[in-house]
């Protein structure tokens, strides 16, 4: 793995696995009722601190995305295969979580299926997917940007959980007590 490999536009770059994911994700969103999509992107109930720290994390995520888009995949290397396994696990986790999320009424917290093991399986899946893509490109800078963004997105997740607690009350508090935030 190189910290800063050659960055170039190309057909076999890190954008390919991300384009595959975002195409499927877009199709998923189009198949969801609007109230579910609205719930998915709600920032209602966040504190100013959570909102600001989440916003500070976005440039790191965008930086990681740009670096991955411009990084050739290290096809055939060990890092490529390790990255693709992480990417596949992330996609699978993300879509299992999304289908469970869509199947739950908008006025209820999602506590079944994969959500019995992680309160935030969508974020776990997304993190594995981005980390896997950065590793498959053999790009240390992308991994570093990803880690910085991940630390700051933790505050976004705290905001989401506070909003869910305000919306769902005691049942969600019991869920918070019973299930770990990430794993």
Of residues 144 and 105, the one with the higher pLDDT is 144
Highest mean pLDDT among 88-92, 155-159, 170-174: 88-92
Contact 67, 17 (CB under 8 A): no
Domain-wise residue ranges, the chain = 51-178
33-44 pLDDT, tens digit each: 777 777 666 666
Is the pTM value of this prediction over 0.75?
Answer: yes
69 pLDDT band, cuts 50/70/90, is very high
Query: Which of the two residues, 6 and 112, has the higher pLDDT score?
Result: 112
Query: Could you report the per-residue pLDDT of 162-176, keeping only the tens digit for each?
Result: 878 887 888 888 888
Q: Which long-range contacts (CB under 8 A, 24 or more apart) does 40-45 make?
A: 40/101, 42/163, 43/159, 43/163, 44/163, 44/167, 45/159, 45/162, 45/163, 45/166, 45/167
DSSP notation for 121-180: HHHHHHHHHHHHHHHHTTBHHHHHHHHHHHHHHHHHHHHHHHHHHHHH-HHHHHHHHHS-
């Amino acid at each position: 793995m190189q910290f800063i490999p050659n960055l170039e536009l190309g057909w076999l770059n890190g954008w390919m696995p991300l384009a595959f994911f975002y195409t499927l994700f877009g199709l998923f969103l189009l198949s969801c009722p609007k109230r579910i999509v609205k719930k998915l992107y709600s920032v209602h109930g966040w504190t100013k601190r959570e909102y600001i720290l989440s916003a500070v994390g976005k440039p790191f995520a965008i930086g990681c995305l740009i670096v991955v888009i411009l990084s050739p995949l290290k096809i055939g290397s060990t890092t490529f295969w390790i990255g693709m396994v992480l990417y596949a696990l992330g996609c699978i986790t993300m879509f299992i979580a999304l289908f469970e999320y869509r199947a739950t009424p908008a006025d209820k917290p999602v506590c079944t299926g994969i959500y019995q093991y992680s309160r935030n399986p969508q974020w776990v899946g997304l993190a594995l997917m981005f980390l896997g893509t950065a590793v498959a490109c053999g790009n240390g800078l992308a991994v570093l940007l990803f880690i910085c963004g991940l630390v700051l997105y933790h505050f976004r997740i705290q905001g989401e959980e506070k909003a869910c607690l305000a919306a769902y009350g005691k049942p969600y508090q019991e869920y918070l007590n019973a299930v770990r935030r990430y794993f």
